[in-house]
Amino acid sequence: MRKLTLQFKPNDAVKKEQKSLFKDDQTYEILETLKVDLEKGTCVDLIECTLKEDISIHDLIFIGNNEILSVLKSEGNKHTCLVKYQETADFKDLFNSIDLNIIFTKPIIITIDKTTVSCIGDQESLLKLIEIIKTKVGKIENMIFKKAVYQTTDILSILTDKQREILLTAHKYGFFEFPRKITSERLSEKVKISKATMLEHIRKAERRLLTEILEGYTA
The pLDDT of residue 154: 61
Smallest Cα–Cα separation from 17: which of 151, 148, 144, 112? Answer: 112
Q: In the beta sheet, which residues pair with residue 103?
A: 120
- Indicate the DSSP class of residue 97: T
Beta strand extents in 38-153 (DSSP E only):
42-51, 62-63, 66-75, 78-86, 102-111, 115-121, 138-147
Sign of CA dihedral 136, 138, 141, 144: negative
Q: Which residues contact 139 (CB under 8 A, 6 or more apart)?
A: 8, 9, 11
The pLDDT of residue 133: 92
For 85, the 3-state DSSP assignment is strand
**CA 34/CA 73 separation, integer angstroms:** 17
Smallest Cα–Cα separation from 11: which of 141, 156, 119, 148? Answer: 141
Sign of CA dihedral 128, 129, 133, 136: positive
What are the angstrom distances between the C-alpha of 38 and each of 99, 181, 214? 12, 25, 26
Domains of the chain: 2-147 (no CATH), 155-214 (1.10.10)
**CA 205/CA 105 separation, integer angstroms:** 22
For 39, the 3-state DSSP assignment is coil
Query: CA angle, corner 62, sides to 57 and 11, nearest 5?
Result: 110
Residue-level pLDDT, tens digit, the chain, 219 residues: 888 999 999 999 888 888 888 889 888 999 888 877 766 778 889 999 999 988 999 999 999 889 999 999 998 999 999 999 877 666 656 555 556 678 888 778 898 899 999 888 888 889 989 999 999 899 999 998 877 654 545 677 778 889 989 998 998 899 998 889 999 999 999 999 999 999 999 999 998 888 777 654 544
Q: How many residues does the chain have?
A: 219
